[in-house]
Structure 1
Amino acid sequence: MNQAFELNELDKQMPNIFAQCDTLYFDFGENNELDQKLFTWIKQLKKQNRIGKRVPEKLHFLAPIVAQMRLYKDSIEKSLMREAGRISVLAHKTAMKYAQQHNHEAQVTAKLEYTMHQHGSERTAFGSIVASGANTCTLHYRENNQSYNNNVLMLIDAGAEYQGYASDITTTFPTGGVFNEEQKAIYQAVLNTHNAVLEQCKPGADFDSLHALSCRQICIELRKLGILQGEVEDLITNKAYQRYYMHRIGHWIGCDVHDVGNYHDGNAWLPLQKDMALTVEPGIYIFPNKDLDEKWWDIGVRIEDSILITEKGYENLTPGLPRTVEEIESFLAT
């Protein structure tokens, strides 16, 4: 910065600074008080036109320009996101083991977030979700205040922030160390969907095509289990999956966990390109339903990774977690 002024000089100095500019970039609509100040300063300049002061000829909305820049991660940003991912993975793995030794969501939350801070994270990237049993079916469960027993699933959706960059991971695992048959079946269905979507994460794909793929795969999986009935195409057309999968496949990630940036340019979905970062997070959530066998009730599974688009595919920014049924059970047994 070439100059600095006392804050009480703001109204005096800003018109002078504006008078030196042809173009003004501003984040309109974010702060009503600042919006009013901006137009007051411009009005002051217009009154001084006769003494040679000029008004910026162009006003540009700043947010879309910055958002477009933030879509693409440079080498330093990628390094910071990898470190945020590393810390997050370590915290998730620690929490998975800790959950077997305790019986309250708050205890697991404390261990999870302590581990993040212990390894260099300044703060969590968002409010951690630590949900057990029926709570796994609530998408944005934040209470984290229930006790649980050792035969339910636990869903942890949490990420560390590291030097201003976010990570976002969801793990789902059995608190008793072993999946029962229904838990295993739903977990495998989500994992199959997660893997199918990851295979298509490459330049040229877009969020809509990835989401459509996830909806199709979930319909296929739930039909195999008898939870949905009918032809796959009809299930997709009728959006039968929405009863069990009610959110999108993912979001941009970077300086914010739900980072800025358009998904659609007004005419078409924005194609993924090298150095864009996003999450992939399919899920299945089964609330009590009189039309469905009770054995499926209160099973919620989500699997999420943060990824970076590369020249030909993707890089997982959150590697190292046990993901298959066998890997999870083996990890929890050690």
Structure 2
Amino acid sequence: MAAGAKRAFFSMGEHTLKVPMELFAINRRRLAERLKKVAPNTVVVLQGGQDVSLYCTDVDYKFQQESYFNWMFGVREPGFYGALDVNKGRSFLFIPRLPEEYSVFLGKIKSTDDFKAYYDVDEVHYNDQIKDVLKSLNPKKLLTLHGLNTDSGYTCKEAVFEGISEFNVDNSILHPEIAECRVIKTPEEIEVIRYTNKISSEAHKVVMQKIHPGMYEYQGEAIFLEYCYYVGGARSEAYTCICGSGENAAILHYGHAGAPNDKRIEDGDLCLFDMGCKYAGYTSDITVTFPASGKFTEDQKAIYNAVLIARTAVIENMKPGVSWVDMHRLAFKMMLTYLKKFGLLVGDVDEMIEAGIGAILQPHGLGHLLGCDVHDVGGYLDGHPTRPAEPGFNKLRTARTLLPGMVLTVEPGCYFNDVMLQKAMKNPDQAKFFNAAVLERVKNVGSVRIEDDVLVTDCGAEILTDVPRTVEEIEEFILKAKRCDSGLLESLQSPEN
């Protein structure tokens, strides 16, 4: 940016975080530095997201930018292309030519200069000029994005434009380099993730204080989304909200269209609420588990503490050079050891892990990378550890060694899922580890998951999430709110009022 020029940033108002467009310029520079070593004299070309109609209607889904495009340019609008001259580091945006009637239905048509200033790029042209502009750069190759997302199983959408066949296109080089860039967060990116954690944490706390028996699960979702948008300016959620109570908490991705957070919350239910907001294209992912009544039963307390001790042990041992697989094993060991002391399990803990008992009670990995996507990219890139085959470990979303700047979720859980438990109790090699009488008593607890977003630092780890975590903290936090509500009600009912 020229000296004295106005700083470009994204914001949803003075009460929200200002995200400098320099964040995305830094990302482009990092990518260019990597590519200079493997593909000099090339130009990166990305295609941004498009508006998608709701089936055959003239109503569109709420637009969210494609994550790689957001990472490089921070563009909010659909229909854009972007390019990066690797050697010179120059950035280009290409925008759609909009018809005059756009200004009637959708607002002012911004000029190329408007977008150049707002997104702080070197040049802005129209989409129908892509071929000519790229020809003038005389690249040895165009690098397009093509690679597998190991979390979704889907392949990135490769840029396509009229005239691309006239270039030497390589779609194999870019993906591993840009994905590796996204694994390590810059200080600027971390500040945005801090913000999404701050807003989501506060929203979770509001939900914890307002939820009570007799309400419906979706009302917790509504409270959360309203807070994130109204207070934090976060228009989009990072993923479909999971608001499971009672037995629904044992369904890992509850909240979908077939189970839309629609159960009535009963007295005695544990609520497992997994929700996060998205701001400036960056996400958060937080799970809290709390009693709807504000007070844990003794069995609920025991299961909760088994998960909490696993979560805390992992975070205390996270640091650069540590294997994520080892952290997963540590979580299993801590949780199963506690459950053995409680009386739910019997036998040798290492043998339990080998027999897959950890996977029965926690049928998912310890956590995942977090960034522009809630399950962020880079989990199984070439040159890094492959997915483990061992039962209980084969669900890990990454097996990497931790590095400074990584942000991961730590989310151990203990689930009493009937399908998983019935299969286990029919298998003598697994059933022998369970105390059947205690299992029958506690399986109505539902489930517990505790999930924090954690930054790997130079010498350890930093928890970005800020919600009550211990049993005592949760009970005091919820009951304090209930006392306040009760006091307010009594004052309103007083004859003096």
With the length of structure 1 as denominator, give the TM-score of the two structures.
0.87
User: What are the residue-to-residue correspondences of 1:270-309 with 2, within 5 Å?
Assistant: 270-288=400-418, 289=421, 292-293=436-437, 294-298=440-444, 299-309=446-456
Match of 2:352 among 224, 235, 254: 235
- State the Cα distance separating 1:256 from its structure 2 match: 1.1
Q: Is 2:258 the counterpart of 1:139?
A: no
Match of 2:200 among 85, 88, 98: 88
Task: Classify the secondary structure of the residue corresponding to 1:157.
Answer: strand
Q: Compared with structure 1, are the counterparts of its residues 87 and 59 closer, same or farther at alpha carbon in structure 2 (3 Å cutoff)?
A: closer
Q: Compared with structure 1, are the counterparts of its residues 150 and 27 closer, same or farther at alpha carbon in structure 2 (3 Å cutoff)?
A: same
Q: Compared with structure 1, are the counterparts of its residues 22 and 127 closer, same or farther at alpha carbon in structure 2 (3 Å cutoff)?
A: same
2-structure distance, mates of 1:123, 1:157: 15
Q: Compared with structure 1, are the counterparts of its residues 276 and 215 closer, same or farther at alpha carbon in structure 2 (3 Å cutoff)?
A: same
Q: Compared with structure 1, are the counterparts of its residues 15 and 178 closer, same or farther at alpha carbon in structure 2 (3 Å cutoff)?
A: closer
Conservation of the 8 A alpha-carbon contact between 1:219 and 1:241: yes
Q: Residue in 1 aligned with 2:479?
A: 333
Q: Residue in 1 aligned with 2:305?
A: 188
Aligned AA (2:371): G
Q: Is 2:271 the counterpart of 1:154?
A: yes
Aligned residues: 317
1-structure distance, mates of 2:317, 2:471: 23
Q: Is 2:140 the counterpart of 1:22?
A: yes
- State the Cα distance separating 1:95 from its structure 2 match: 0.4
Task: Classify the secondary structure of the residue corresponding to 2:211.
Answer: helix
1-structure distance, mates of 2:332, 2:306: 12
Q: Residue in 2 aligned with 1:219?
A: 336
1-structure distance, mates of 2:157, 2:189: 28
Deviations 1:162-210 (A, max 9, x none): 2221111100000011011111110000001000111111111122111
- Fraction of identical pairs, as percent: 35
Match of 1:168 among 279, 285, 291: 285
2-structure distance, mates of 1:6, 1:166: 30
- State the Cα distance separating 1:59 from its structure 2 match: 5.5
Q: Compared with structure 1, are the counterparts of its residues 313 and 263 closer, same or farther at alpha carbon in structure 2 (3 Å cutoff)?
A: farther
Q: Is 2:369 the counterpart of 1:258?
A: no
Q: Compared with structure 1, are the counterparts of its residues 13 and 207 closer, same or farther at alpha carbon in structure 2 (3 Å cutoff)?
A: same
1-structure distance, mates of 2:129, 2:140: 22
User: What are the residue-to-residue correspondences of 1:80-119 with 2, within 5 Å?
Assistant: 80-100=192-212, 102-119=214-231
Q: Is 2:164 the counterpart of 1:41?
A: yes
1-structure distance, mates of 2:277, 2:156: 27
- State the Cα distance separating 1:248 from its structure 2 match: 0.3
2-structure distance, mates of 1:213, 1:70: 27
Q: Residue in 2 aligned with 1:311?
A: 458
Q: Residue in 2 aligned with 1:67?
A: 179
With the length of structure 2 as denominator, give the TM-score of the two structures.
0.60
Conservation of the 8 A alpha-carbon contact between 1:136 and 1:155: yes
Task: Classify the secondary structure of the residue corresponding to 1:156.
Answer: strand
Task: Classify the secondary structure of the residue corresponding to 1:21.
Answer: coil
Task: Classify the secondary structure of the residue corresponding to 1:106.
Answer: helix
- State the Cα distance separating 1:314 from its structure 2 match: 0.9
- Note the residue ranges of structure 1 that are not aligned, 5 or more in a row: 46-54
Q: Residue in 2 aligned with 1:324?
A: 470
- State the Cα distance separating 1:222 from its structure 2 match: 2.3
Conservation of the 8 A alpha-carbon contact between 1:173 and 1:328: yes
2-structure distance, mates of 1:15, 1:81: 34
Q: Compared with structure 1, are the counterparts of its residues 224 and 122 closer, same or farther at alpha carbon in structure 2 (3 Å cutoff)?
A: same
Q: Compared with structure 1, are the counterparts of its residues 123 and 333 closer, same or farther at alpha carbon in structure 2 (3 Å cutoff)?
A: same
